[in-house]
Amino acid sequence: MKVLVLVLVLSAVFAPAARSSTKAKPAPTSGVFVSSADYVNHRLSFPGSCQSEAHKLEVHDVRNKPYIDVTHAGKKHRYGKNAVFGFRACDGRDYRFGADLEYQILEGQELYIYLRESKTYGKGFHIRMEYFFSLGPEGPILLLTRENLKQAVPENRKFHDSLDASVHSGQKLETYDRDHTMFDVNWLLMASRHDNP
């Protein structure tokens, strides 16, 4: 009987603490990265809860609308896509603008790796996934090809040789290296720079 009373007392003491330590997940936040420095420093402009009616981010993923609309604290703001670096969507993904299109940022190392999904129509509806890169956050966004990578770093012969060896062995340029927690192309570039005197 004493043991049962002790268990009940301990349950009553520790149960509220256990309930209070399980915090609810914060609501998803979206906002705008005005500059590449804002993105690098994780500084969002007009951040707001995606569940709030006073906050809304409209990207307008069509070519005839080269702007985004941000409603923040009930006020609407409009920015040209060429005037801001990018944005964070409600799903937590970050994007960069280039030629009025948005590119999902997959990695931000020396090479920034992007994904662009485009819809194609023909015999049915298909989503085509294309990978792109830039040298740093401000470099031009280029299709992720061996030739473009070599042109982006023309002086680094070791990187060129590593790219050739990878492609000849059947390795895709968009392969993610789980051991090094980065895309293979970034690992190859980093390794080539480390080996260079």
State the CB neighbour count (10 A cutoff) for residue 152.
18
| pLDDT for res 139 | 97
pLDDT top residue among 144 and 166: 144
Comparing 81-95, 129-143, 159-173, the range with the smallest average pLDDT is 159-173
CA-to-CA distance for 178 and 182, rounded, in angstroms?
7
Model confidence at 197, pLDDT cuts 50, 70, 90, reads very low
